[in-house]
Amino acid sequence: MSGGDSPSGVAPLPAALTGAAAFRDVLDHELAGLLARAHADHDARVAAVGRWTLAWRERVSASHLAAVVDGLRAQALYSELADSVISALARLTVTLLAGTNGRILRGRFVILGYGKLGSREMTPTSDLDLVFVYEVPGDVDESDAISALAPSAYYARLGQRLIRALTLSTGGRAVYDIDMRLRPHGDSGPIASSLEGFRRYYQKDAWTWEHMALTRARVVAGDSDLGAKIYKEIARILTSARDQNKLVTDVADMRRRIAAQHRPSSPWDVKYRYGGLIDIEFIAQYGQLLHGPSAPGVLSNSTADALRRLRDLGYFDASMSDTLIQALTFWQQVQSAQRAMKTRETDGAPDQQVFDHAISSVAHINDAAERMRVAEATAAAVRSWYEHLIEAPAATAPPAG
């Protein structure tokens, strides 16, 4: 299979569209035109966006499998696609709600992305981890319509309608799966949180693992002024002083819980296996929470960038950081190839030909036994550093309190 040929039969992207900025410009332009031409019925317009989204996702996957882009570039393109769609459907949903319940005078609304969306590391099957935050002036207590709603109800309805738009089934396939469990108070919390509620929750009630997740948070769409306020609040939360013993024991405990709940299905289950993606992400998040109070410059919603910052600022050993970054790249390339091939459920060993093309920027590995040897060596190196940084200190940390 030569570069530019797609095993799916879908045309891959031209080289001019493989850069994130150029890709996003084309997406936004096409979406604006699509919505301008689409039927006035809201659901019909949403369905048109869904079909358009699935078609572009297939093109990115085809480009990856044809080695037009590597797995890391594909992640950036999937993320730009999600950002573009979320922004367009948010504007559409705001207009829809204004027609029935008016608008909140001087109200502001922001959509935060966590997880792979926040870190711009999406695959074609990634969920959207979303959190909705709003801010309303103190002198505004309802929307400006006959069927007025209080701000909390108004923004909850806005969030619910946006979720419906993003998950609308198109040709039997959901455009995206949405995960809202990272919002303040989880499944028991409101769909949308006020800025003050967001601030209060993370200050008083959030668990360590929620602060870990917050390291990857990013404003995806919405009001830029409110977005700037939220970024300042996130920085304040992540640079707050914390008990180092509690931090390391909480991180180790969360990793053990994940291991108990999600046993890897094969050596190629690169997310859950020991020495896989979660170990690397936990190391980066732990390092940011540990050193953020004295060095805010370590903060980044990109795992690889956070590891580089921790290295460059002298908090992580250079050899360790380089090993972790190389392993992160390797595992992400493998996962991107698996999911582009729609093997998410089994996470099986990738087809040799596709594997060789999809991770050609990492290594040219032509033998199945050699691929397994590299995978095992990568996992062992990551796990060794995880145990050194987190597991061993947690085992000897004094009990909390």
CATH code, domain with 278: 1.20.120.330
Domain-located, residue 388: yes
Q: What is the pLDDT of residue 78?
A: 97
Q: Is residue 116 part of a domain?
A: no
- Predicted local distance difference test score (pLDDT) of residue 339: 84
Does the residue 62 lie in any domain? no
270 phi, psi to nearest 5 deg = -75, -15
347 with 265: CB under 8 angstroms? yes
pLDDT at 6: 53
| Predicted pLDDT at 237 | 97
Q: Is residue 390 part of a domain?
A: yes
pLDDT of amino acid 348: 52
Maximal CA-CA distance, the chain = 69
Q: Judging by beta carbons within 10 Å of its beta carbon (0-12, 13-18, 19+), is residue 85 exposed, middle or buried? A: buried
323 in a structural domain: yes
The pLDDT of residue 164 is 94
Query: Would you state the pLDDT for residue 345?
Result: 39
Residue 2 is predicted with a pLDDT of: 42
Which pLDDT score is estimated for 37?
79
Supply the pLDDT for residue 31. 95
b/e 169-195 (16+ beta carbons within 10 angstroms → b): ebeeeebbeeebebbbeeeebbbbbbb
Number of domains in the chain: 1
Residue 60 near residue 75 (C-beta atoms within 8 A): no
In a domain, 256, yes or no: yes
- Average pLDDT of adjacent 10-residue blocks, the chain of 401 residues: 54 92 96 84 90 93 87 95 97 94 97 98 95 97 95 97 89 85 95 97 96 98 98 97 96 97 88 97 98 98 98 97 96 86 50 53 63 91 98 90 58
Query: Apex CA 353: angle with CA 383 and CA 75, to 5°?
Result: 55
In a domain, 327, yes or no: yes
Domain of residue 260: give its range. Answer: 239-401
Please check whether residue 161 lies inside any domain of the structure: no
Q: What is the pLDDT of residue 355?
A: 55
Query: Given this model, what pLDDT does residue 1 score?
Result: 39
Q: Is there a contact between 240 and 288 (Cβ–Cβ < 8 Å)?
A: no
What the block records as the tokens of 345 is 């459920």
Under DSSP, is residue 194 helix (H, G, I), strand (E, B) or coil?
A: strand
For residue 329 the two structure tokens come to: 């790249």
Tokens representing residue 172 in the block: 């039997």
How high is the pLDDT of residue 66?
A: 83
Can you give the pLDDT at residue 5?
54
